[in-house]
């Protein structure tokens, strides 16, 4: 601290507490709502303290679902989301580490062309080319399949760039040494590159898992079958236009359940999360 | 064997590198280049009502688009929305980061409690904010009504815009906070201390020393936030307003979606996509120019 303050650090603490409070308020309200009965919420009479229906509401949300709108239990949606997010994250990491390895450790015709072909995709999120991509997935007969849901989102340059940058920092001596030991490119990849990349892979996984879990527009178009719904899609469908039919206690329980996995990943793996966030933005 | 610094030791193989590249190149070509080029191509075509005849019309689809008042309205909404989200989330995040950067107790706890909204899906964030501000049952909406404000974002376009801005900014504060905090921690304490010894008060130190040194981070975040507001807020808008009321919150990305869902004008929809692609490419180019400058800084 540069100078002594009369009130110590009271003001920073105060401002930070207000910030934390504002950031947390929407979620605490959602949690409170998820523990009450629907009539009290619909009347606008909801108290600011949790009610007695915790178990009942979450049980119904997980295993029965919102009866009038989506009709699928949220437990199933969570499984779908988990599957989608994991496939996207693992898929991106797998194809990226391979292509980065090719670009860094081999010299071959069209090497830079291949790199630029991948690099350009950094710029265009799926949102801007949504209908042409949809049409191709439809033509390939992949609507309502896990492949159609995930594979188009796996194409992106971020992870490739990150691995390329990281591979450039691996000292040449390691390559030389393993060549002397008689190792070929595949063994060098398995025995040296993969173990060294473990932290980077984990950091990327955290970021990409959140990216995959939170996808909305793409699954909205690709999946029409209700048993393929992800939780982020399902929660939107639970809110019906006529207010009287919306079961807000179920919607809010779903909101809590939908944010629990990605938030837990961020909080529990904070170091990896921050690292992944900073590195993917370079 | 020594190599020059930029020379890498490599393996020799004729086919293996192509095999390694194949999965990513294949996916990229099929799901990226093919649709993107189709969008560009279709934006120059007009199809008749039955989809039987297509005609090459050069830039007519673009001319059409820019003669529609609806497209201008969407441009203006996007501008208002992204400016407001960027300004709001950046200023709140900067204030919090400056406070957290002071060496106070519990800094790590505050950080944890501030960064988690990053992980909340945009659509879920939209649902949360809709619930708080729902005209008939929202807790905050009732407070506003007792203050005499006629709050109804389902009917009032300006109020709907305020609500989507709040929800979008809420989600983005966490990201900005992390980068601001990292930027602040990279400023050498000795510089700030020297200014303090010269008698500069905290506010003056912030404006004349801290903020200029933070400007690369600030500039980087402005670009990232604009990209976020343009392209990553679809779920928020869809969950809260669905682009309404009366298209008051229809951003460019939302318009591509809702026009396309109605079907019909394939060429116009493609032209909209192409314009969006141009915007992303421009923003990315700006960011990269800046990143290079940051390296040599």
Per-residue pLDDT in tens (0 to 9) along chain B, 297 residues: 444 555 677 888 888 999 999 999 999 999 989 988 888 888 888 877 666 777 788 888 898 888 889 899 999 999 999 999 999 999 999 999 999 888 777 788 888 999 999 999 999 999 999 999 988 888 888 888 888 888 888 888 899 999 999 999 999 999 999 999 999 988 888 888 888 888 888 888 888 888 888 988 898 899 889 989 998 999 999 999 888 788 889 999 998 888 887 776 778 888 888 998 888 888 888 877 765 554 333
Half-sphere CA count of B296, side-chain side, radius 13 A: 5
On whether both A151 and A183 belong to a single domain, the answer is: yes
On whether both A135 and A98 belong to a single domain, the answer is: yes
Q: Is the pLDDT of residue A125 over 80?
A: no
Contacts of B234 in chain A (CB under 8 A): 127, 216-217
On whether both A82 and A101 belong to a single domain, the answer is: yes
> A213-222 b/e with 16+ CB inside 10 Å = b?
bbbbbbbbbb
B245 within domain boundaries: yes
On whether both A225 and A104 belong to a single domain, the answer is: yes
A68 within domain boundaries: no
A4 within domain boundaries: no
On whether both A118 and A258 belong to a single domain, the answer is: yes
B18 within domain boundaries: no
CATH of the domain at A126: 1.10.3720.10
On whether both A111 and A140 belong to a single domain, the answer is: yes
A134 within domain boundaries: yes
A28 within domain boundaries: yes
B235 within domain boundaries: yes
On whether both A131 and A236 belong to a single domain, the answer is: yes
Range of the domain at A55: 10-63
Contact check, Cβ <8 Å, A106/B193 = no
Contact check, Cβ <8 Å, B28/A121 = yes
DSSP code, position B9: P
Nearest CA in chain A to B291: A282
- For residues B131 and A41, the answer to whether their CB atoms sit within 8 Å is no
Q: What's the whole-model pTM score?
A: 0.90
Contact check, Cβ <8 Å, A123/B284 = yes
Shortest distance, CA B33 to any CA of chain A (angstroms):
9
**How many domains does the structure of chain B reveal?**
1
On whether both A169 and A81 belong to a single domain, the answer is: yes
Contact check, Cβ <8 Å, A235/B36 = no
Mind giving me the DSSP string for B263-294? ---HHHHHHHHHHHHHHHHHHHHHHHHHHHHH
**How many domains does the structure of chain A reveal?**
2
On whether both A88 and A169 belong to a single domain, the answer is: yes
SS (H, E, C) chain A: CCCCCCCCCHHHHHHHHHHHHHHHHHHHHHHHHCCCCHHHHHCCCCCCCCCCCHHHHHHHHHHCCCCCCCCCCHHHHHHHHHHHHHHHHHHHHHHHHHHHHHHHHECCCCHHHHHHHHHHHHHCCHHHHHHHHHHHHHHCCCCCCHHHHHHHHHCCCHHHHHHHHHHHCCCHHHHHHHHHCCCCHHHHHHHHHHHHCHHHHHHHHHHHHHHHHCCCHHHHHHCCCHHHCCHHHHHHHHCCCCHHHCCHHHHHHHHHHHHHHHHHHHHHCHHHHHHHHHHHCC
B17 within domain boundaries: no
On whether both A92 and A219 belong to a single domain, the answer is: yes
Nearest CA in chain B to A174: B9
A7, A15, A26: which to substitute to probe chain B, counting the most B Cβ within 10 Å?
A26
Range of the domain at B249: 69-296
Contacts of B122 in chain A (CB under 8 A): 214, 216
B250 within domain boundaries: yes
Residue A167 in tokens: 């591979």
Contact check, Cβ <8 Å, A262/B23 = no
Where does a domain end: A63, A84, A102? A63
CATH of the domain at B291: 1.10.3720.10
> B177-191 b/e with 16+ CB inside 10 Å = b?
bbbbbebbeeeeeee
On whether both A164 and A275 belong to a single domain, the answer is: yes
On whether both A78 and A59 belong to a single domain, the answer is: no
Instruction: List the single range of A132-136, A277-281, B196-200 with lowest mean pLDDT.
Output: A277-281
B145 within domain boundaries: yes
B236 within domain boundaries: yes
Interface membership of B236 toward A (CB under 8 Å)? no
B141 within domain boundaries: yes
Q: Residues near B278 by Cβ (< 8 Å), separated by ≥ 6? A: none
Nearest CA in chain B to A107: B10
Residue that the structure tokens 């919090």 belong to: B96
Interface membership of B117 toward A (CB under 8 Å)? yes
A69 within domain boundaries: no
Contact check, Cβ <8 Å, A258/B31 = no
Mean pLDDT value across residues A86-92: 95
A14 within domain boundaries: yes
Contacts of B201 in chain A (CB under 8 A): none
Q: What is the ipTM for the molecules in this complex?
A: 0.90
């Amino acid at each position: 601290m540069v100078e002594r303050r009369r009130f110590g650090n009271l003001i920073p603490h105060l401002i930070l507490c207000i910030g934390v409070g504002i950031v947390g308020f929407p979620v605490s309200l959602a949690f409170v709502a998820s523990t009450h009965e629907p009539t009290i919420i619909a009347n606008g009479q909801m108290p600011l303290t949790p009610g007695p229906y915790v178990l009942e509401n979450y049980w119904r949300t997980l295993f029965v679902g919102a009866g009038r709108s989506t009709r699928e239990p949220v437990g199933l949606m969570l499984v779908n989301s988990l599957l989608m997010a994991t496939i996207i994250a693992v898929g991106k990491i797998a194809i990226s580490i391979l292509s980065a390895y090719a670009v860094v450790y081999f010299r071959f015709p069209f090497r830079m062309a291949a790199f630029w072909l991948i690099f350009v995709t950094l710029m265009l999120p799926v949102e801007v080319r949504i209908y042409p991509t949809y049409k191709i997935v439809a033509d390939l007969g992949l609507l309502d399949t896990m492949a159609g849901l995930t594979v188009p989102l796996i194409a992106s340059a971020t992870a490739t760039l990150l691995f390329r940058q990281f591979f450039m920092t691996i000292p040449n001596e390691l390559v030389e040494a393993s060549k002397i030991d008689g190792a070929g490119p595949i063994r060098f990849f398995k025995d040296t590159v993969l173990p060294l990349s473990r932290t980077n892979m984990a950091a990327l996984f955290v970021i990409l898992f959140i990216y995959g879990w939170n996808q909305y527009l793409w699954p909205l178009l690709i999946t029409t079958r209700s048993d393929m719904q992800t939780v982020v899609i399902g929660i939107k469908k639970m809110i019906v236009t006529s207010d009287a039919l919306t079961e807000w206690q179920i919607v809010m329980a779903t909101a809590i359940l939908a944010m629990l996995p990605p938030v837990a990943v961020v909080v529990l793996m904070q170091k990896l999360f921050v690292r992944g966030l900073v590195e993917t933005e370079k | 064997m020594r190599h020059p610094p930029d020379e890498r030791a490599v393996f020799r193989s004729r086919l293996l590198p192509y095999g390694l590249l194949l999965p990513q190149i294949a996916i990229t070509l099929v799901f990226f280049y093919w649709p993107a080029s189709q969008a560009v191509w279709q934006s120059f075509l007009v199809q008749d009502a039955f989809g039987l005849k297509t005609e090459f019309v050069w830039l007519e689809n673009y001319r059409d688009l820019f003669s529609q008042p609806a497209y201008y309205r969407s441009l203006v909404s996007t501008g208002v929305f992204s400016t407001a989200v960027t300004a709001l989330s950046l200023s709140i995040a900067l204030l919090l980061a400056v406070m957290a950067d002071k060496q106070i107790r519990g800094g790590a706890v505050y950080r944890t409690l501030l960064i988690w909204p990053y992980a909340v899906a945009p659509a879920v964030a939209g649902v949360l904010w809709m619930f708080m501000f729902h005209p008939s049952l929202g807790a905050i909406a009732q407070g506003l009504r007792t203050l005499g404000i006629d709050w109804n974002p389902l009917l009032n376009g300006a109020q709907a815009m305020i609500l989507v801005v709040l929800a979008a900014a809420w989600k983005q504060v966490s990201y900005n906070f992390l980068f601001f905090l990292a930027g602040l921690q990279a400023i050498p304490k000795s510089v700030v201390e020297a200014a303090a010894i010269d008698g500069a008060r905290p506010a003056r130190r912030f404006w004349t020393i801290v903020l200029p040194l933070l400007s690369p981070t600030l500039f980087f975040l402005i670009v990232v936030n604009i990209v976020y507001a343009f392209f990553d807020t679809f779920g928020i808008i869809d969950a809260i307003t669905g682009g309404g009321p009366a298209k008051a919150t229809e951003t460019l990305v939302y318009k591509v979606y809702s026009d396309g869902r109605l079907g019909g004008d394939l060429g116009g929809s493609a032209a909209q996509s192409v314009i969006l692609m141009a915007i992303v490419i421009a923003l990315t180019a700006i960011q990269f120019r800046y990143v290079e400058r940051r390296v040599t800084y």
